[in-house]
Amino acid sequence: MVLPRRRESGKRYGNETIRVTPDGEVSIRLPAPLAHLANAPHSRYVLAARARFAHRAAEWADRICADRAVAYRIHHDPDRDRWYLTASWQRPAIPTVPLEAARTHGIIGVDTNADHFAAYRLDTHGNPIGDPVRFGYDLSGTADHRDAQIRHAITALLHWARRCGVAAIAIEDLDFAQEKTREKHGRRKRFRQLISGFPTGKLKARLVSMAAVQGLAIVAVDPAYTSSGATSTGASPSPAANVQ
Every domain of the chain and the residues it spans:
2-88, 99-243
Cα–Cα distance for residue pair 76/1, rounded to 1 Å: 6
What pLDDT, on a 0 to 100 scale, did the predictor assign at position 179?
Answer: 46
- What's the average model confidence in pLDDT over 103-129? 83
d(CA 192, CA 196): 6
Is the pLDDT at 189 greater than 70? The verdict is: no
User: Mean pLDDT throughout 56-76?
Assistant: 86
Residue 232, classified by CB atoms within 10 Å of its CB into exposed (0-12), middle (13-18) or buried (19+), is exposed
Q: Label residue 239 by pLDDT band (50, 70, 90).
A: very low
Distance CA 194, CA 139 (A): 7
pLDDT score for 225 = 54
The architecture (CATH level 2) of 99-243 comes to: 2-Layer Sandwich (3.30)
Percent of the chain with pLDDT over 90: 24
φ and ψ of 172, to 5 deg: -65, 150
Q: What is the pLDDT of residue 8?
A: 64
- Comparison of pLDDT for 191 and 216, the residue scoring more: 216
CA angle 61, 226, 212 (to 5 degrees): 30
Single-letter amino acid code for the residue at 198: F
Say if residue 97's pLDDT is above 50. yes
Residue 27 clears pLDDT 60, i.e. is over it: yes
Q: How far is CA 41 from CA 30, 31, 34, 38, 85, in A?
A: 11, 13, 13, 7, 22
The model scores a pTM over 0.95: no
Select the more confidently predicted residue: 41 or 184. Answer: 41
Classify the C-alpha dihedral 242-177-119-228 as positive or negative.
Answer: negative
Contact 209, 95 (CB under 8 A): no
Q: Name the residue with higher pLDDT: 118 or 46.
A: 46
Instruction: Give the per-residue pLDDT at 66.
Output: 81
Identify the residue with better confidence: 7 or 100. 100
pLDDT interval class at 72 (50, 70, 90): very high
Above 90 in pLDDT, residue 36?
Answer: yes
The pLDDT score that the predictor gives to residue 130 is 85
**pLDDT for 144-175, tens place per residue?**
788 888 888 998 999 999 899 888 888 865 54
